């Protein structure tokens, strides 16, 4: 349950992630009236930034990325913003303890503490230890950005450190793809409609495509990206998690514990990736981007064929693809239904498909074959779409807004657990140990040509 008084401590408050995503999400919560009655947000960083300067930084971030300050209660919002400089580590808390003390006197005794780590993953261990060292961990909720670890070994080390300081119930590992409206509609469409529930099985589904091409480059976060790449930034995080949402067995309920258990259980059935079924790429010109190493071998593209070894999905390929500087920007999950063998002959392949667009407020699209009106029996493809934002009284929330609100409520159902993450790292381990040869691809293309073979015999529904 949300408490009446909450102090948010935003580590990395002047960084790119906070500016683009986290700060706009907090302001949206204020506009929607979803923040507790008593709250404060304390930004933390190494610099000695005055409260007034931090408020201007937040204002400028909202002007650039929205919602615009004029669209909400900016004057009331800004007076609750503070900054604690001097860094924060086990040796020194900087000014954070002093600022928290001041805010506690303003709000009253014992507000809930929520720590949000909008920092690179290598900073997680030190900040976690410092929370324990300086008495800020007890009873707090702690949000970790992705990737939660940078390798299987690093994940295990981080997980041990986190659990020496925090109970698992305090930990919120965020993956914003789980906060998308259309991702959650994967559950509802399937479990609330027998038409789809009965066919959510290998007997009826030929393949699943999870496709997240991006037109964006990496100039705004070059240093982070060059140390991470597409496999760590997208595959082992977003794409694996969405695959689990599609593939999970029906949970006992949609409560947090049951939903998490169903999601993590199916990830344990992910077969370790075969490097021969993975294509890695780097777009032409990547090494010319400021901040990128001259001989960088970082992957900006990955396409992989994932197999799930359980009774429901055995033999059904899950085709996962993402990349930077591609021909289009999309976020799609498509279940391709099998083509009926009779009585109609010569039906086109991949014509029966159920697609969830995860972009924006989300959309569900059903592709099917229908008789073309007329004397002749001619079959033509048809498409029915349902924009989720157009449902009556729809009030969609952006993913970060939804997930931060869930942290306030103490609802962990859309956050990842360590057992599932451990299985995800195990599945990706083979391509970390023996990465496929990096292929170059032109900017504005659909990636390396070798990826077409992964989707044979029919092909990717997007682009190629």
Residues of each annotated binding site: 12-19, 46, 146, 176, 180, 214, 233, 324
Active-site annotation holds for 238:
yes
**318-323/171-173 β-pairing:** unpaired
Tokens standing for residue 29: 């919560």
Annotated catalytic residue within 57, 59, 115, 238: 238
Tokens 């103490």 belong to which residue?
410
Helix (H, G, I), strand (E, B) or coil at 379: strand
Neighbours of 57 (CB within 10 A): 19
Name residue 207's beta-bridge partners.
Answer: 336
Name residue 281's beta-bridge partners.
Answer: 301, 439
Annotated binding-site ranges for substrate: 176, 180, 214, 233, 324
Q: Which residues contact 121 (CB under 8 A, 6 or more apart)?
A: 145, 146, 147, 148, 149, 150, 154, 158
**Cα dist from 87 to 123, 140, 390, whole Å:** 12, 20, 45
**Cα dist from 444 to 246, 277, 302, 327, 451, whole Å:** 29, 23, 15, 4, 16
Cα–Cα dist 33/66, whole Å? 17
User: Of the candidates 463, 455, 443, which has an alpha carbon nearest to the alpha carbon of residue 301?
Assistant: 443
The answer to whether the CB of 362 falls within 8 A of the CB of 329 is no
The answer to whether the CB of 5 falls within 8 A of the CB of 38 is yes
Three-state secondary structure along 221-259? HHHHHHCCHHHHHHHHHHHHHHHHHHHCCCCCCCCHHHH
Cα–Cα dist 440/323, whole Å? 12
Catalytic residues: 238
């Amino acid at each position: 349950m949300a408490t009446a008084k909450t102090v948010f401590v935003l580590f990395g408050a002047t960084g790119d992630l906070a500016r683009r995503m986290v700060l706009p999400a907090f302001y949206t919560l204020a506009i929607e009236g979803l923040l507790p009655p008593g709250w404060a947000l304390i930004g933390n960083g190494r610099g000695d930034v005055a409260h007034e300067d931090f408020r201007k930084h937040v204002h400028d971030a909202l002007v650039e990325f929205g919602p615009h300050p004029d669209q909400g209660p900016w004057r009331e919002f800004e007076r609750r913003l503070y900054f604690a400089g001097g860094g924060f580590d086990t040796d020194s808390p900087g000014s954070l303890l002093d600022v928290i003390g001041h805010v506690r006197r303003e709000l009253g005794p014992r507000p809930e503490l929520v720590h949000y780590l909008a920092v690179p993953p290598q900073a997680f261990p030190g900040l976690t230890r410092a929370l324990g060292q300086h008495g800020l961990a007890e009873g707090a909720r702690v949000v970790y950005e992705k990737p939660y670890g940078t390798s299987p070994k690093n994940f295990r080390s981080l997980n041990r450190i986190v659990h020496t300081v925090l109970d698992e119930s305090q930990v919120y590992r965020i993956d914003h793809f789980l906060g998308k409206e259309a991702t959650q509609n994967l559950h509802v469409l399937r479990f609330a409609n027998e038409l789809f529930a009965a066919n959510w099985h290998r007997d009826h589904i030929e393949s699943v495509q999870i496709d997240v091409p991006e037109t964006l480059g990496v100039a705004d976060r070059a240093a982070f990206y060059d140390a991470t790449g597409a496999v760590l930034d997208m595959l082992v995080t977003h794409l694996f998690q969405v695959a689990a949402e599609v593939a999970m067995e029906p949970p006992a309920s949609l409560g947090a514990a049951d939903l998490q258990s169903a999601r993590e259980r199916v990830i344990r059935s992910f077969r370790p990736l075969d490097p021969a079924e993975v294509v890695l790429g780097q777009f032409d010109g990547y090494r010319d981007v400021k901040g990128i190493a001259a001989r960088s071998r970082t992957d900006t593209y990955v396409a992989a064929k994932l197999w799930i070894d359980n009774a429901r999905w055995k033999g059904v390929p899950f085709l996962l693809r993402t990349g930077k500087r591609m021909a289009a920007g999309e976020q799609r999950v498509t279940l391709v239904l099998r083509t009926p063998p009779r009585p109609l002959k010569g039906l086109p392949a991949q014509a029966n498909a159920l697609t969830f667009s995860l972009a924006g407020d989300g959309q569900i699209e059903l592709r099917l074959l229908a008789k073309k009106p007329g004397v002749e029996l001619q079959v033509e493809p048809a498409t029915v779409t349902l924009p989720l934002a157009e449902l009556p009284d729809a009030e969609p929330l952006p993913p970060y807004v939804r997930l931060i609100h869930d942290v306030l409520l103490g609802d962990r159902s859309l956050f990842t657990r360590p057992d599932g993450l451990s299985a995800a790292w195990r599945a990706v381990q083979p391509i970390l140990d023996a990465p496929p040869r990096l292929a170059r691809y032109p900017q504005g293309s659909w990636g390396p040509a070798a990826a077409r073979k992964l989707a044979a015999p029919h092909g990717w529904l997007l682009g190629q």
